[in-house]
Every structure is written in C-alpha cells, then in structure tokens.
C-alpha cells in the first residue's frame, strides 16, 4: 500500500506505518535518478558544509542510524520518495511550525542531513509502532531547534492544521532524562472520524536531533518508543562523536 502524498508518512495510522516499513528502499525509475556528476557535486557540497559546521553528512549519519533488531524493535530504512512526502509541511500557526515539521519527519530548521527509520515491534503482542529520524545540525542550531520545539509545545495546546489535516490537541509529557536535552509530548490527530494520539520523544545529542514517534491504537499511554531503543541510538551517536 502506497502512502498518499497528501498525508505525511510519519503522521498517520499504524497500518500506513506498517506498509511503509515493508516497502524497503526505493530507488525509483532510471529517469528519476539524478546524473552521477550532479549527485557527486551535491554530496561534496553537503560534506563540505558538514565539515564547516562540525556536523555529520548523510553518509556518516546513515552509518550511525540504528538498523535491524534494537531494543525489541526492528528498525528499517524508509523509501526516500515516501520520506520526501512529508517535507515542507506548514502549520497554519507560525508558533506551531516545529511540531508540524516533525510530523512530516524533518526539523523546522533545515538540517545538513537527515536519515529515517521505521520501527516495528518484534513481539506480535506489542501494539506500538512508529519511526525515528536523525537530523544533523551545528550544535548551536540543534540547541535552537529544541528551544523552539519546547516553546511550540507550550504555545499550541489546542493544536493546529497542516495540509488539510487537523491536530486538535498538544500535551506536554514528562521530560525524559536522555541525551543533552529532551522533549516529550503527545499530539492528537483527527484522521477521518478517528482520534489518533501520537507520542514524540525528541532528544539532542550534540548537534544531532533524534526524534522518535510512536502510536498505539489500543493504549495511547504505551505509545512512546521505549527508552532502550532511544538509548541504543544515542550510544551510536556518542561513539561516532568520539
């Protein structure tokens, strides 16, 4: 099942998330691929910018992103075309933009590079599914991302709209003691006639913002991605930073 472009990949029902997880990587048709020289030039430019800012470029970020069974969840790469479906989401209220951008799978401040993973439980009895992504910034920019995200959670309790979708409630959750700083919150999305509570744990480790999204249609209080998964990812980031 393909995800409609009108719906952001990381914001909808578990069935769509599961379908995304099973899709694997998408390379697209030959006509959609950029020319090798153009790709190389873009990669070189990104690598230079990453070096200037002390950030990870896409290749380095890909190496440190969890893959396979971690903390009881299977982390799998997400097709690039489906990831891009969530880029550029705009909230109808400026203060809520950090929340809207994260629903789409990106930080509201452009990152040097971003990688995504779907997360599915290895235990069939576990109803929590979700995704995670790493966004590489300079440390100053990553700190600003977190500051403005905390402000958005506080200033947008009644939610917002984006791409014709309504997110009617934003609740702050206890701050997780993870990384250099962290933010926890829950957003309730109105998908058709159904209320979908979506739980986010966003952690900064140096210049990397790691976002973990979970949904559990049976018990929203159990929707957060478990800390063992998050800690495993943070350890990989710390090891890469040396």
State how far Cα 135 lies from the chain centre: 8
Is-above-0.85 flag for pTM? no
Tokens found for residue 168: 């009617």
Mean per-residue pLDDT of the chain: 84
pLDDT, mean of residues 36-60: 72
Please report the pLDDT score of residue 141 as a whole number: 96
Q: What is d(CA 121, CA 139) in angstroms, rounded to the nearest whole number? A: 32
Which position has the token pair 């701050």?
Answer: 175
- Which ranges of the chain does DSSP label H, i.e. alpha helix? 14-23, 36-53, 58-64, 80-84, 97-104, 139-155, 227-241
Q: What is d(CA 71, CA 232) in angstroms, rounded to the nearest whole number? A: 7
């Amino acid at each position: 099942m393909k995800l409609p472009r009108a719906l952001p990949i990381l914001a909808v029902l578990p069935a769509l998330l599961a379908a995304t997880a099973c899709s694997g990587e998408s390379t697209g048709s030959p006509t959609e691929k950029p020319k090798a020289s153009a790709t190389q030039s873009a990669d070189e430019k990104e690598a230079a910018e990453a070096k200037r800012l002390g950030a990870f470029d896409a290749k380095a970020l890909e190496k440190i992103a969890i893959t396979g069974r971690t903390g009881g969840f299977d982390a799998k790469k997400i097709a690039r075309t489906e990831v891009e479906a969530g880029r550029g989401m705009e909230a109808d209220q400026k203060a809520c933009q950090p929340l809207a951008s994260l629903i789409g799978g990106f930080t509201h401040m452009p990152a040097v590079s971003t990688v995504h993973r779907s997360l599915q439980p290895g235990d069939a009895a576990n109803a929590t599914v979700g995704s995670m992504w790493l966004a590489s910034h300079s440390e100053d920019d990553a700190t600003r991302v977190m500051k403005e995200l905390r402000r958005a959670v506080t200033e947008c309790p009644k939610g917002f709209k984006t791409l014709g979708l309504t997110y009617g409630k934003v609740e702050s959750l206890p701050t997780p003691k993870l990384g250099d700083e962290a933010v926890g919150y829950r957003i309730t999305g109105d998908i058709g006639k159904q209320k979908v509570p979506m739980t986010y744990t966003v952690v900064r480790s140096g210049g990397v913002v790691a976002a973990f999204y979970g949904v559990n249609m049976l018990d929203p209080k159990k929707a957060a991605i478990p800390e063992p998964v998050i800690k495993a990812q943070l350890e990989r980031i710390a090891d890469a930073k040396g």
